[in-house]
Structure 1
Amino acid sequence: MPKFQSRQKVNHSASQMFDLVADVQSYPDFVPLCKSLHVRGHQETSEGSVLVADMVVAYKLISESFTSKVTLKPQDNEILVEYLDGPFKHLENRWTFEPIDGLAAASVIVFYIDYEFKSRMLAGLMGAVFDKAFHKFSSAFEQRADRIYG
């Protein structure tokens, strides 16, 4: 089962980075492999906001759609993505945003993903591409933050 985790210091606050990652509707503009994203439901809970979103990922001639439940927890600086439907056996994705003491305009982004495709053929075709894309995710979000926040 492929897993990937990264920790990256950025020159933006934890709350700025949380807001940027929470803006899932903008993902097709800058996230590697994300062709489209549609939020089909939104609910406020005691934990925070819960979204149900459909994302289409594409690479060359391969395109797959999957549905996730996204829980936004601003009080914890955490975003949890839970897999609901699509080409995976499972998918868990977690973002945390850690303030850095003494540096109001800096934070550490922790990105974690654990996934497994249902199909061995799809895993063979997309596995290496996904791994490369996940390595680029943190930098894609940092570059987006630089453009938005300066």
Structure 2
Amino acid sequence: MTERMRVRHRPEDVFELVSDVRRYPKFIKYLSALRVKDEENFGDVTRLVAEAVARYRFVSEKFTTAVTSDPTARTVEVDLIEGPFNTLRNGWRFEELDDGSTLLSFEIEFEFSNPLLQMLLSANKEKAVHFLIDAFCAEADRRYETVGAAEYDGSDDIVTQRVAK
């Protein structure tokens, strides 16, 4: 699943927010805990191994991911190491639009190893992805200055222009 949207914050700010995994439990409702188990730097690129606990209603699951943040490319990639998934991979890309705002691209692929969990989330996959993106956008609104032209709010024109380039 891929989502693209305009975010009225600078790409550097949105990248910083998504890269700051240690603070996720403060603004992602169903993420009850997260700890960084390992951190390596390769020049500007940072690779973290993070263990998280997600809770939703009667279900609590622990999983471990590798999170690679590249500020030059403005990308954050997340890959499953261990957990209740057959597959978990997501990627974030932050491109600067002409008005200084961000074209946010988010791709996610996941499949639970538990058929019941897979069935429950598959039925609500789009809603779950929007919930996650909305949590990041709300936190960006709280932390960062708004940039970009208000006339593009609610319009796909500026995003379409950028994607077409």
The TM-score, its normalising length taken from structure 2, stands at 0.82
In the alignment, which residue of structure 2 is the partner of 1:31? 28
Distance in 2 (CA, whole Å) between partners of 1:52 and 1:134 is 22
In the alignment, which residue of structure 1 is the partner of 2:140? 145
What one-letter code is carried by the residue in structure 1 that aligns with 2:141? Answer: D
Quote the offset at 1:129 in angstroms. Answer: 5.0
Quote the offset at 1:124 in angstroms. Answer: 2.3
In the alignment, which residue of structure 2 is the partner of 1:59? 56
**Of 14, 17, 40, which residue of structure 2 is paired with 1:17?**
14
In the alignment, which residue of structure 1 is the partner of 2:38? 41
What one-letter code is carried by the residue in structure 2 that aligns with 1:111? Answer: F
CA RMSD between the two structures:
1.5
Distance in 2 (CA, whole Å) between partners of 1:10 and 1:66 is 29
Could you tell which deviates more after superposition, 75-84 or 41-50? Answer: 41-50
Distance in 2 (CA, whole Å) between partners of 1:45 and 1:34 is 28
Higher relative contact order (CA 8 A, sep 6+): 1
Distance in 2 (CA, whole Å) between partners of 1:64 and 1:128 is 19
**Of 68, 90, 114, which residue of structure 1 is paired with 2:109?**
114
CA spacing shift, 1:92–1:54, aligned 2, 3 Å = same
Q: Report the 3-state secondary structure (helix = DSSP H, G, I; strand = E; otherwise coil) of the residue aligned with 1:12.
A: coil
Quote the offset at 1:132 in angstroms. Answer: 2.2
**Of 55, 69, 72, which residue of structure 1 is paired with 2:69?**
72
Q: Percent of pairs identical after alignment?
A: 35
Within a 5 Å distance, the mapping from 1:82-101 to structure 2 comes to 82-101=79-98
Largest Rg, 1 or 2:
2
The TM-score, its normalising length taken from structure 1, stands at 0.90
Quote the offset at 1:131 in angstroms. Answer: 4.1
Q: Report the 3-state secondary structure (helix = DSSP H, G, I; strand = E; otherwise coil) of the residue aligned with 2:108.
A: strand
Aligned residues: 145
Distance in 1 (CA, whole Å) between partners of 2:82 and 2:126 is 21
What one-letter code is carried by the residue in structure 1 that aligns with 2:106? Answer: F
More strand by share: 1
CA spacing shift, 1:11–1:110, aligned 2, 3 Å = same
Distance in 1 (CA, whole Å) between partners of 2:60 and 2:95 is 34
